[in-house]
Amino acid sequence: MPSVSRRVTDYVLLFLFSIVLAFAYNLLLLPHKVLSGGVTGVAMIIGLITPINTGWIILLLNIPLFIFGFYTLGKVFIVRSAISVTTTSLAMNIIPIYQLTSDPILSAVFGGAIAGLATGLIFSASASTGGLDIIGMFISKRRDFPMGTLMSTFNAIIIFVSGFIFNWDQALYTMLSIFVAGRVVDTIFTRHIKLTLMIVTEEGEAVREALLKQIVRGITVLEGVGAYSKNKKTVLMTVATRYELPMIKALIRQADPKAFVNIMQTVEVMGAFTRLP
């Protein structure tokens, strides 16, 4: 199991930056009708054209995704993501919508940057802000699908709808905000889609079983010996997507908190990337 200090740190990050995300939405983006990407962007559109608070809409739209993810993805990841989204939703109901700056460009840039910062740190705590990240994890478990294409398409639809419902200035501000947020998330979390993990552990069977139960990826198992300790080690190698990384790290910590894990950028994968069920 992960150490108590690690779990406490993760939950503090979740709670703190989920609130920071709510501040970015209510003080910078929503006052200028600047939208976020993904499911949150849809919730913002509904919240701006109805009297319902956007926070409640974000929570309601994510509930079916959490239920779906709970049965198809890692439970630790989904539970933490649900905590993050719930915290953000409640904070958005408490924090008033207030125009922090009258300049929509400043709001789009800094709102996107703060939202990206909060999202990246939430990712680092083995969670997500819900929405497309859950869909992305599910698809990435089944096939090698370019998630960037899915997100870009979905966000393009949000921008297009924003232009028609509000005006095209707002649509362009939304595009700017989504771009800035994405760049900040990539800087904090990881900008690479595929990663190679080398896991060195003395609990090889426990780690192998934990990973195979939750991820649909092939794993190569090698036998090794510690150069200094001369203890027998098991080396597990697998390639995963960035959407699976938080879940995999949590599973490894649960099976062997002392495992040594080297995560490397994967330039290209040849052959069967996904393992058949």
Residues 108 and 201 in one domain: no
Residues 126 and 207 in one domain: no
The mean per-residue pLDDT over the stretch 255-276 comes to 75
Give 176 or 275, the one with higher predicted confidence. 176
Query: Per the domain annotation, does 63 fall within a domain?
Result: yes
Question: Which positions ≥6 away from 196 have C-beta within 8 Å?
Answer: 237, 238, 239, 263, 264, 265, 266
> What are the tokens at 48?
């701006």
pLDDT tens-digit profile of 142-185?
Answer: 665 555 556 667 778 888 888 888 888 888 998 998 888 888 88
The mean per-residue pLDDT over the stretch 116-141 comes to 78
- Domain boundary (188, 209, 244) is at 188
Query: Per the domain annotation, does 270 fall within a domain?
Result: no
Residues 171 and 199 in one domain: no
Query: Per the domain annotation, does 272 fall within a domain?
Result: no
Residue 223 belongs to what domain range?
194-265
Residues 89 and 21 in one domain: yes
Question: What CATH number did the domain enclosing 199 receive?
Answer: 3.30.70.120
Residues 129 and 223 in one domain: no
- Domain boundary (188, 216, 249) is at 188
Decide: 65 and 133 in contact? Cβ < 8 Å. Answer: no
Report the pLDDT value the prediction gives residue 105, as an integer from 0 to 100: 93
What is the distance of C-alpha 199 from the center of its chain?
22
Give 126 or 252, the one with higher predicted confidence. 252
- Domain boundary (165, 188, 211) is at 188
Residue 271 has pLDDT above 70, yes or no: no
Residue 275 has pLDDT above 50, yes or no: no
Give 124 or 193, the one with higher predicted confidence. 124
Report the pLDDT value the prediction gives residue 32, as an integer from 0 to 100: 92
pLDDT tens-digit profile of 180-205?
Answer: 888 888 777 654 567 889 999 998 88
Residues 248 and 113 in one domain: no
The mean per-residue pLDDT over the stretch 215-241 comes to 86
Residues 130 and 45 in one domain: yes
Query: Per the domain annotation, does 273 fall within a domain?
Result: no
**Total-model pTM:** 0.69
pLDDT tens-digit profile of 57-75?
Answer: 999 999 998 998 888 776 7
Query: Per the domain annotation, does 140 fall within a domain?
Result: yes
Q: How far apart are CA 151 and CA 197, in angstroms?
A: 25
Residues 245 and 156 in one domain: no
Query: Per the domain annotation, does 271 fall within a domain?
Result: no
The DSSP result for 229-266, as a single string, is T--EEEEEEEEEETTTHHHHHHHHHHH-TT-EEEEEE-
Residue 103 binned pLDDT confidence (cut-offs 50, 70, 90): very high
Query: Per the domain annotation, does 23 fall within a domain?
Result: yes
How many structural domains comprise the chain? 2
Residues 77 and 211 in one domain: no
Residues 208 and 82 in one domain: no
Query: Per the domain annotation, does 274 fall within a domain?
Result: no
Residues 26 and 133 in one domain: yes
Report the pLDDT value the prediction gives residue 185, as an integer from 0 to 100: 80
Report the pLDDT value the prediction gives residue 17, as an integer from 0 to 100: 92
